[in-house]
Amino acid sequence: MPGLQPALQGGGAQGQSLATGQQGDANGIESLRSRLLAQGLSQGGRSGQAHGWPVESAPVVPCSVSVDSSKFSPLLRWMGITLVVILLLQMLGVLIIGQWQEESFRQLVVERLIAQSPMALVGLVLMYLAGRLDDAGEGRSPLLWAVCILSGVLAISLTAALPVSFSGDQMLQQQADRQLAQQKTRLETARIQSKNPAFLQQVIQQFQASGQVPPGVSEAQKNQAARAFIDRQLDQMQSQLKQSEQSNLVSLNQRRYGGSGAAVVLIVAFTILCLGSVL
């Protein structure tokens, strides 16, 4: 029996090592199966794509980005109100004078109103957009009613300013015609006077008195110098007349199209905005 116990102990040790080896072999086989399975799936997917076989892919989930309009509405509202207030302050600075009996003051009021109305139109459009963003379908908001009222007031004001603007265009046209007529009269008078021999001698005497004619010059040279001086003066007056005609034409067109024409366009725009705010 003493000899049998070491033998049994040796056998037990061998059994434990055998069990450990079998467990390690099982773990190795399991990891090998996992690698082969993953490799087979990847190869099968690639070969399926190569042969045109349908391969399932992960579903694509659409994403949507929502913009909160409440973040932009206050900004648009206050920007629009600021532009409208600037128009009111600009008009107040002119209306406080109150000299309505003078034509120049009325023209100044109309010009300021037409010049500042586009800024007010932009401000009212911003207020209109803010009102539409805030509108929850429960009637019109006070902001939209304010846009309607202000747009209507500006449209009526510009309509009332049209006759004053048209009269200003006529006055400017008449003033330009008078100035051109005076310049043309001076030019014609200078041309007629240049043909007078007495005027030519008067110019020669002025040259001699100022020392512009050296001594020993013949009468023909004196007459030639005086005639050249007169011709230069006539050419200068002619060029000034052409420049005046061009500048008057530009001023009249700018007043007619940039003033009265712009007022008509603004009336239409304010009317559309007024109706669009309540409809």
pLDDT in tens, 82-128: 999 999 999 998 888 888 888 888 888 998 999 999 999 999 999 99
Q: Dihedral of the CA atoms 10, 15, 18, 22 (nearest 10)?
A: -170
Q: Comparing 183-187, 204-208, 230-234, which segment has the lowest mean pLDDT?
A: 204-208
Residue 79 sits at the vertex; the CA angle it makes with 76 and 82, to the nearest 5 degrees, is: 150
The model's pLDDT over 8-48, given as tens digits with 9 standing for 90+, comes to 344 444 444 434 444 444 455 555 555 544 554 444 444 44
What is the 8-class DSSP label of residue 214?
-
Compute the distance between CA of residue 45 and CA of residue 154 in angstroms, rounded to an integer. 72
66 pLDDT more than 70? no
pLDDT at 212: 72
Average pLDDT over residues 174-182: 88
- CA atoms within 13 Å, Cβ hemisphere of 277: 26
Question: Within 10 Å of residue 255's Cβ, how many Cβ atoms?
Answer: 19
pLDDT at 55: 42
249 pLDDT more than 70? yes
